C-alpha cells in the first residue's frame, strides 16, 4: 500500500491546479513574461508530464528493469502546444491521468514501490522515487503558475 503523504500530495495537486486556473480570464492565463511559458502552457506541460509518468510507472510494474526514455519538454510544448490553448482541456487531461495514476498507486503492494526502471539520463529509478519526483515537479509548476497570474 502507498504511503499516505505521497498519495495525498499527488491528489492535492489536482484541486490546487483547478483552483488556480478556474474562472480566470483567458488573457491572464496566456501571459508569458520574458518569453517564459504562460500559465496555460505550464498546465499543458503538467498534463504532458503526467502522461509520461503514467507510461513509466506502468512499464516498471510490468517489465523487468525497463529502459525509461526522456522527452524534450520544449519540443513537446512547441510542436504539441497548439493543441493545449484551452486551459480547461489541459486541466481536464491532467485530472483524468492523475486520477488513473492515483488508483494504480493506491493498489500497489509495498514491494512494488521498490521496482526499478533505468532512465537513460537519470539512472535507476524506483516507483517511489518517480512519485517523489512527480510531487516536486507539481510543486515547482504550481508555484510557477501562482507567480504568473495577476
CATH of the domain at 22: 1.20.120.450
Q: Give the pLDDT confidence score for residue 118 in this predicted structure.
A: 98
CB 81 within 8 A of CB 38: no
Q: What pTM was estimated for this model as a whole?
A: 0.92
Q: Give the pLDDT confidence score for residue 79 in this predicted structure.
A: 72
**Number of independent structural domains in the chain:** 1
Q: Give the pLDDT confidence score for residue 35 in this predicted structure.
A: 79
Element (H, E) at 123: strand 123-126
Q: Domain of 42?
A: 4-148
CB 84 within 8 A of CB 41: yes
Strands, E assignment, 80-121: 116-119
The span from the CA of 97 to the CA of 114, in Å, is 22
Q: What is the pLDDT along the chain (150 residues), one digit of tens a residue?
A: 456 568 999 999 999 999 999 999 999 999 888 878 999 999 999 999 999 999 999 999 999 999 998 887 878 777 776 556 689 999 999 999 999 999 999 999 999 999 999 999 999 999 999 999 999 999 999 999 999 998
Q: Give the pLDDT confidence score for residue 1 in this predicted structure.
A: 47
Q: Give the pLDDT confidence score for residue 4 in this predicted structure.
A: 58
Amino acid at each position: 500500500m502507498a504511503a499516505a503523504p505521497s498519495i495525498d500530495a499527488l491528489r492535492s495537486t489536482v484541486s490546487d491546479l483547478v483552483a488556480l486556473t478556474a474562472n480566470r480570464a483567458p488573457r491572464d492565463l496566456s501571459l508569458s513574461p520574458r518569453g517564459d511559458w504562460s500559465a496555460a502552457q505550464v498546465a499543458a506541460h503538467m498534463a504532458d508530464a503526467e502522461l509520461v509518468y503514467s507510461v513509466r510507472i506502468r512499464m516498471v510494474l510490468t517489465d523487468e528493469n525497463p529502459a525509461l526514455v526522456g522527452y524534450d519538454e520544449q519540443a513537446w510544448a512547441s510542436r504539441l502546444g497548439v493543441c493545449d490553448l484551452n486551459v480547461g482541456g489541459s486541466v481536464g487531461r491532467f485530472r483524468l491521468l492523475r486520477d488513473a495514476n492515483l488508483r494504480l498507486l493506491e493498489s500497489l503492494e509495498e514491494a512494488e514501490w521498490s521496482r526499478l526502471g533505468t532512465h537513460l539520463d537519470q539512472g535507476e529509478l524506483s516507483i517511489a522515487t518517480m512519485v517523489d519526483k512527480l510531487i516536486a515537479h507539481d510543486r515547482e509548476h504550481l508555484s510557477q503558475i501562482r507567480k504568473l497570474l495577476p
